[in-house]
Amino acid sequence: MPVLSQPDCAHAVGLLLLLQVCWSPFSPSRFLSASADWSVRLWHEAQPRRPLATLALPGARAEVADAAFCPAAATLLAAAAGNSLQVRVWGSGGRAHGC
User: Which SS3 state, helix, strand or coil, does residue 13 take?
Assistant: coil
Domain total of the chain? 1
The per-residue pLDDT for 16 is 65
Is the residue at 53 inside a domain? yes
Rounded distance, CA 30 to CA 41, Å?
10
User: Over the stretch 14-61, which tens digit does the pLDDT of each residue have?
Assistant: 556 888 899 999 998 999 999 888 889 999 999 988 999 998 876 667
Tell whether 29 is covered by a domain: yes
| 78 domain-assigned | yes
| Position 63 in a domain | yes
Q: Where does the pLDDT of residue 96 fall: very low under 50, low under 70, confident under 90, or very high at 90 and above? A: low
User: Taking Cα atoms as reference points, which of 34, 40, 41, 81 lies closest to residue 62?
Assistant: 81
Q: Quote the domain boundaries for residue 67.
A: 9-98
In a domain, 2, yes or no: no
